[in-house]
Amino acid sequence: MRLIVVVPTYNERQNLAELVARTLAAAPEARIVVVDDSSPDGTAAEAQRLAEGGAPLTVISRPKKAGLAGAYCAGFDWATNQDCELVAQLDADLSHDPAELPRLVAAGADLTLGSRYVPGGGVSGWANHRRALSRFGAAYARRCLGLPQRDLTGGFKVWRREALQAVLQTPPRADGYAFQVEMTWRAVRLGLSVVELPIHFTERQAGASKMSPRIAAEAAWLVPALPWLT
């Protein structure tokens, strides 16, 4: 396998078949790893149905909803123990277009970020206040950590397997979306090559966002503390 795509899920049954089809159309060489947190809507069962139908798909079922970081780490642990070159991550809600995977794969960096906030990138389907909040979050993380990357909060990434293993030598401190910031911060601190490429982010068409006040609060205190915690 050249590429493993890790996708955490919680109540994403409506999106899963399309996500798998579009991902494999863009990257036929990929294996998809769905990490499901016991979704009550039957996401894991739908993933298993797709796997039994012939899709190159591995299902990791966790016993309860236990945080985005934990779900990613479960998928990363599986992926980095396989004979692959690259490990990608993307959201299950189709806000990341899998058709953009080949560009990120071809970049050749230790970590390639799909960025909404570099020239050529963008967001559609968000109200103005949500756009402003997202840009503020990215700018807040950049200023706190002194990093040049413009989209530190995004979740569309491609890692070289050895780079991901190096970053995960110690468990992440973040549980929610601050995990995305922490992982890039760790990569930069290790001297890994980090590249940003433009992507277009689209609001989900089905299901509900998993963002919550608790997740936002974690990011607010954890991001500025990362230089002392990692």
Give me the tens of pLDDT residue by residue for the chain, a chain 230 residues long.
Answer: 699 999 999 999 999 999 999 999 999 999 999 999 999 999 999 999 999 999 999 999 999 888 899 999 999 999 999 999 999 999 999 999 999 999 999 999 999 999 999 999 999 988 888 888 888 888 888 899 999 999 999 999 999 999 999 999 999 988 878 899 999 999 999 999 999 999 999 987 765 555 556 656 666 667 877 877 76
* pLDDT at residue number 216: 62
Residue pair 100/156 in contact by the 8 Å Cβ criterion: yes
The phi and psi torsions of 114 (rounded to 5 degrees) equal: -80, 115
Q: Which fold has domain 3-229?
A: Spore Coat Polysaccharide Biosynthesis Protein SpsA; Chain A (3.90.550)
User: So what's the pLDDT on residue 181?
Assistant: 94
Question: pTM value?
Answer: 0.91
- CA-CA distance, 172 to 52, in Å (whole number)? 33
**CB contact at 8 A, 175 and 68:** yes
Predicted pLDDT at 66: 81
Annotate 153-179 with b (16+ C-beta within 10 A) or e (fewer).
bbbbbbbbbebbbbbbeeebebbbbbb
Compute CA distances 76 → 33, 46, 91, 137, 184, whole Å: 9, 21, 14, 25, 15
Strands (E), 17-110: 30-36, 57-61, 86-89
The predicted pLDDT at position 214 comes to 60
